[in-house]
A and B are shown apart, each in its own frame.
Chain A
């Protein structure tokens, strides 16, 4: 009990000091730590309901896509290819295998 009481008292003082300092920090001091922002704010986050129809009779919906077994024929081929190790940790081999299909 004595010990935990001691910890709590120390923490109270430390918390008061930290809170006091945090309250006096300006917004610029906080913003300086590099918040990442989206380029075109909001549009990507908008509501997605509309009443448009898709592009006709002959694309995605009319053929089955199966990822079980050997039917899958797509390889991740976007900006992931610019990363230092495109398919790590489990597999350059895996990428090659999928590409082979």
Chain B
């Protein structure tokens, strides 16, 4: 008896290889060429996965235009099929793919712009966690000697983006905030992406604040992180950095010295 494994393997292999002849084993009621019908499946796979990518990377797609995006997505899909049936998880590999994709090399900002869009989707679906409020944090002012060694835990939705390109302005210009023509593409920009309540925020950051947050995210205590940031830029605004985190619900745990992250 013919076992189904080889049939399914042949079917799967043929889905992404339209240039190869269809394997045997198919039949049509009217004797027509089964490869014409098989193309429905080939289309479904590529078109549905391209649509999923287009949904998650709308500004990336707007920048390059629909025909380029669709063709690039076609190449990506062939090399990177989803590893799970949850399509919101699909697309992690697209920014690196774009960076290595020769036809997109002229758009140096595109991989980081795609990273920003991916961070937004991940933020939307990230775990819920109660953020610490100003009231929660106020008691720590009573014991300032413990502040320098304090470590913070960020909200699970947060991603820090540090780019050599103006990805935040470019993204914002596609949301009706500023003109695309006015974006200085070569200006380095950074952002914190996180979910604040039900809204995903893209918070532009000065480079020194981005360095501060990166150090904190890596487990560096507050005092040392502040010194790293000041070394980056003497005008590092510690108040602004802390206020941004607190008021956008970015901190979920505040661990004074001696209490290391579990």
Which residues of the other chain, B, contact A89 by a CB distance below 8 angstroms? 108, 186
Residues of A within 8 A of B (CB-CB), count: 73
A68 to chain B, nearest CB (A): 9
- B64's partner among A11, A24, A34, A76 (CB-CB below 8 A) is A76
Interface SS, B side:
helix
- How far, in angstroms, from A70 to B145 measured CA to CA in the complex? 65
Asked if residues A23 and B175 are in contact (CB atoms below 8 Å), the reply is: no
Asked if residues B184 and A87 are in contact (CB atoms below 8 Å), the reply is: no
B92 to chain A, nearest CB (A): 14
Interface SS, A side:
loop
Which residues of the other chain, A, contact B186 by a CB distance below 8 angstroms? 88-89
Which residues of the other chain, A, contact B168 by a CB distance below 8 angstroms? 36
Binding site for A on B (CB under 8 A): 15, 17-19, 36-37, 39-48, 50-52, 55-56, 58, 61-72, 74-75, 85-88, 90, 101-108, 120-121, 124-125, 134, 137-138, 140-141, 144-145, 147-148, 168, 170-172, 174-177, 180-181, 183-186, 191, 198-204, 222-223, 226-227, 238-240, 242-244, 246-248
Could you write out 25 A-B pairs with CB less than 8 Å apart?
A: A8-B148, A23-B134, A23-B137, A25-B247, A30-B243, A45-B124, A45-B125, A46-B55, A47-B86, A49-B87, A50-B48, A54-B40, A59-B47, A60-B43, A60-B70, A60-B74, A61-B47, A62-B42, A74-B71, A76-B65, A76-B104, A77-B68, A78-B63, A83-B185, A89-B186
